[in-house]
Amino acid sequence: MFEIVERKMIVPNLHLLVVHAPDVVEEIQPGQFVIVHAGEGSERIPLSAADWDHETGTLSIVFMEVGTSTGRLALLEPGDAIPTVVGPLGKPTEIDHFGTVICIGGCFGMGSIFPVVRALKEKGNKVITIMEGRSKNLLYWEEKLARYSDRVIKLTRDGSYGYKGHIKKGDDIIRETGIKPNRVIANGCMTLSYKTTQEYAHFDVPVMVTLNTIMIDGTGMCGVCRCTVNGEMKFACVDGPEFDGRLVDWEELAKRRQQYVGEEAFLVHHSGCGGI
Amino acid sequence: MLVKKRFLFIILDVEEYNMAEKKTSRFERVEMPKQPPYIRRRNFAEVALGYTPEMAVKEAKRCIDCKKPVCIDGCPVEIDIPGFIRCIAAEDFSGSIKILKEKNCLPAVCGRVCPQEEQCEIKCILGKKGTPVAIGRLERFAAEWEASQGKIELPEIKLNTGKKVLVIGSGPAGITVAGDLILAGHDVTMVEALHEPGGVLTYGIPEFRLPGKVVSREINYLQQLGVKLVCNYVVGKTRSLKKILEEYDAVFLGTGAGLPWFMEIPGENLNGVYSANEYLTRVNLMRGFEYPKSYTPVKRHKRVAVVGGGNVAMDCARTALRLGAEEVYIVYRRSQQELPARLEEFENAEEEGVIFHFLTLPEKLIGDENGWLKEIECSRMKLGEPDQSGRRRPIRIDGSEFIMPMDACIVAIGNSPNPIIPQTTPELEVSKNGTIVVDESTGKTSLDRVWAGGDIVTGAATVILAMGAGRISARSMHAYLSTI
Ligand SMILES: Cc1cc2nc3c(=O)[nH]c(=O)nc-3n(C[C@H](O)[C@H](O)[C@H](O)COP(=O)(O)OP(=O)(O)OC[C@H]3O[C@@H](n4cnc5c(N)ncnc54)[C@H](O)[C@@H]3O)c2cc1C
Ligand SMILES: Cc1cc2nc3c(=O)[nH]c(=O)nc-3n(C[C@H](O)[C@H](O)[C@H](O)COP(=O)(O)OP(=O)(O)OC[C@H]3O[C@@H](n4cnc5c(N)ncnc54)[C@H](O)[C@@H]3O)c2cc1C
Ligand code: SF4
Ligand code: FES
Three-class SS of A52-101: EECCCCEEEEEEECCCHHHHHHCCCCCCCEECEEEEEECCCCCCCCCCEE
Do A212 and A114 have their domain in common?
yes
Q: Considering Cα of A115, then A119, then A121, then A122, what sign does the dihedral take?
A: positive
Do A155 and A33 have their domain in common?
no
With CB atoms and an 8 Å threshold, state whether B239 touches A228. Answer: no
What type of residue is B239? R
Residue in chain A lying closest to B411 (CA): A223
* Residue nearest atom 35 of ligand 2, based on CA coordinates: B169
C-beta B81 within 6 A of ligand 3: yes
Atom in ligand 4 nearest the alpha carbon of residue A46:
1
Domain end marker among A55, A89, A123: A89
What type of residue is B409? C
- Give the model's pLDDT for residue B10: 44
What are the backbone angles phi and psi of residue B229, rounded to the nearest 5°? -110, 130
| Among B191, B230, B233, B237, the residue to mutate for chain A (most A Cβ within 10 A) | B237
Do A75 and A104 have their domain in common?
no
With respect to residue A266, please indicate whether it lies within any of the assigned structural domains.
no
CA B46 – CA B348 distance, rounded (Å): 12
Do A143 and A204 have their domain in common?
yes
| Beta-bridge mates of residue A130 | A104, A153
Q: Which stretches in chain B have pLDDT values below 50? A: 1-14, 17-23
C-beta B89 within 6 A of ligand 3: no
Q: What is the CATH number of the domain that holds A196?
A: 3.40.50.80
Q: Considering Cα of B349, then B350, then B353, then B356, what sign does the dihedral take?
A: positive
C-beta A93 within 6 A of ligand 1: no
pLDDT in tens, B138-162: 999 999 999 898 877 777 777 789 9
With respect to residue A20, please indicate whether it lies within any of the assigned structural domains.
yes
Q: Is B420 exposed, middle or buried (0-12, 13-18, 19+ CB in 10 A)?
A: buried
With respect to residue A263, please indicate whether it lies within any of the assigned structural domains.
no
Which residue in A27, A216, A217 is closest to B239 by CB distance?
Answer: A27
Ligand 4-lining residues (CB < 6 angstroms): A 215-218, 220-225, 235, 237
With CB atoms and an 8 Å threshold, state whether A227 touches B269. Answer: yes
Do A178 and A43 have their domain in common?
no
With CB atoms and an 8 Å threshold, state whether A233 touches B262. Answer: yes
> Which value, to the nearest 10 degrees, does the dihedral of the CA atoms of residues A232, A237, A239, A241 take?
90
Ligand 2, pocket-test mutation among B200, B230, B464, most atoms within 8 A of CB = B200
With respect to residue A9, please indicate whether it lies within any of the assigned structural domains.
yes
Smallest CA-to-CA distance from B460 within B269, B301, B261 is with B261
Q: Domains in chain B, ordered, with CATH?
A: 22-148 (1.10.1060.10), 164-258+416-483 (3.50.50.60), 262-413 (3.50.50.60)
- Give the model's pLDDT for residue A243: 97
Number of structural domains (chain A) is 2
- Give the model's pLDDT for residue A268: 44
CA B423 – CA B439 distance, rounded (Å): 21
Do A131 and A242 have their domain in common?
yes
Q: Which helix (H) or strand (E) holds A252?
A: helix A250-257
* Residue nearest atom 2 of ligand 4, based on CA coordinates: A222
With CB atoms and an 8 Å threshold, state whether B271 touches A216. Answer: no
CA B296 – CA B274 distance, rounded (Å): 15
- Give the model's pLDDT for residue A265: 53
With CB atoms and an 8 Å threshold, state whether A23 touches B233. Answer: yes
CA B80 – CA B49 distance, rounded (Å): 25
* Residue nearest atom 37 of ligand 2, based on CA coordinates: B255
With respect to residue A270, please indicate whether it lies within any of the assigned structural domains.
no
Domain end marker among A52, A70, A89: A89
Domain end marker among A89, A122, A143: A89
Residue in chain A lying closest to B195 (CA): A84
- Give the model's pLDDT for residue B374: 96
CA A63 – CA B467 distance, rounded (Å): 42
Atom in ligand 2 nearest the alpha carbon of residue B199:
49
C-beta B206 within 6 A of ligand 2: no
CA B155 – CA A124 distance, rounded (Å): 61
With respect to residue A273, please indicate whether it lies within any of the assigned structural domains.
no
CA A60 – CA A36 distance, rounded (Å): 13
* Residue nearest atom 50 of ligand 1, based on CA coordinates: A47
With CB atoms and an 8 Å threshold, state whether B292 touches A276. Answer: yes
Do A242 and A109 have their domain in common?
yes
Do A48 and A83 have their domain in common?
yes
What are the backbone angles phi and psi of residue B364, rounded to the nearest 5°? -160, 135
Q: Which domain holds residue A46?
A: 2-89
Q: What is the CATH number of the domain that holds A9?
A: 2.40.30.10
User: Is B363 within 8 Å of B401 (Cβ atoms)?
Assistant: yes
CA distance B62 to chain A (A): 44
CA A109 – CA B171 distance, rounded (Å): 37
Do A151 and A74 have their domain in common?
no
CA B178 – CA B158 distance, rounded (Å): 15
With respect to residue A269, please indicate whether it lies within any of the assigned structural domains.
no
C-beta A228 within 6 A of ligand 1: no
Do A125 and A221 have their domain in common?
yes
Per-residue model confidence as pLDDT tens for chain A (276 residues): 999 999 999 998 899 999 999 999 999 999 999 999 988 888 899 999 999 999 999 999 999 998 888 999 999 999 999 999 998 999 999 999 999 999 999 999 999 999 999 999 999 999 999 999 999 999 999 999 999 999 999 999 988 998 998 888 888 888 888 889 999 999 998 889 999 999 999 999 999 999 999 999 999 999 999 999 999 999 999 998 999 999 999 999 988 888 877 665 544 433 333 222
- Give the model's pLDDT for residue B25: 67
Do A139 and A226 have their domain in common?
yes
With respect to residue A271, please indicate whether it lies within any of the assigned structural domains.
no
C-beta A276 within 6 A of ligand 1: no
Q: Considering the entire predicted model, what is its pTM?
A: 0.90
B100 CA distance to ligand 3 centroid (A)? Answer: 15
Do A104 and A225 have their domain in common?
yes
